[in-house]
Amino acid sequence: GAVVSQHPSRVICKSGTSVKIECRSLDFQATTMFWYRQFPKQSLMLMATSNEGSKATYEQGVEKDKFLINHASLTLSTLTVTSAHPEDSSFYICSARDGVGQFFGPGTRLTVL
């Protein structure tokens, strides 16, 4: 139980394009979902917290207009990186929380050329 999936696992895009990453809780309903970003050789940094049907809460320094989060249902959250630039290249990890704990997706490797 408590499986979180992400799609795609890896994406390469050109600078200036937008990329959407999906995060799904497969066997539970998530009260809250989180998005993290991890640069090479660094730790996971929390980007934003989202609750179904409400606006996401972004951490300080994270541009909400650049990283659009939609939490359409209790099992699906999407992160759209708009007008991606090479400095947005990173490993993006989503996480979903239920009443028991917080569970992580396998991550999405984004490379912006």
Partner 1 sequence: SQQGEEDPQALSIQEGENATMNCSYKTSINNLQWYRQNSGRGLVHLILIRSNEREKHSGRLRVTLDTSKKSSSLLITASRAADTASYFCATDAVQAGTALIFGKGTTLSVSS
The residue from 24, 37, 97, 112 that contacts partner 1 (CB under 8 A) is 97
34 binds partner 1 (CB under 8 A): yes
44 binds partner 1 (CB under 8 A): yes
29 binds partner 1 (CB under 8 A): no
Cα gap 66→57, rounded to integer Å: 14
Structure tokens at 85: 């630039």
Minimum Å gap between C-beta 80 and partner 1 is 20
Q: Check: CB of residue 111 under 8 Å from CB of residue 39.
A: no
31 binds partner 1 (CB under 8 A): yes
Minimum Å gap between C-beta 39 and partner 1 is 12
Q: Check: CB of residue 13 under 8 Å from CB of residue 110.
A: yes
CA atoms within 13 A on the CB side of 112: 16
The residue from 69, 107, 110, 112 that contacts partner 1 (CB under 8 A) is 107
102 binds partner 1 (CB under 8 A): yes
- Alpha helix segments (H runs only) across 1-113: none
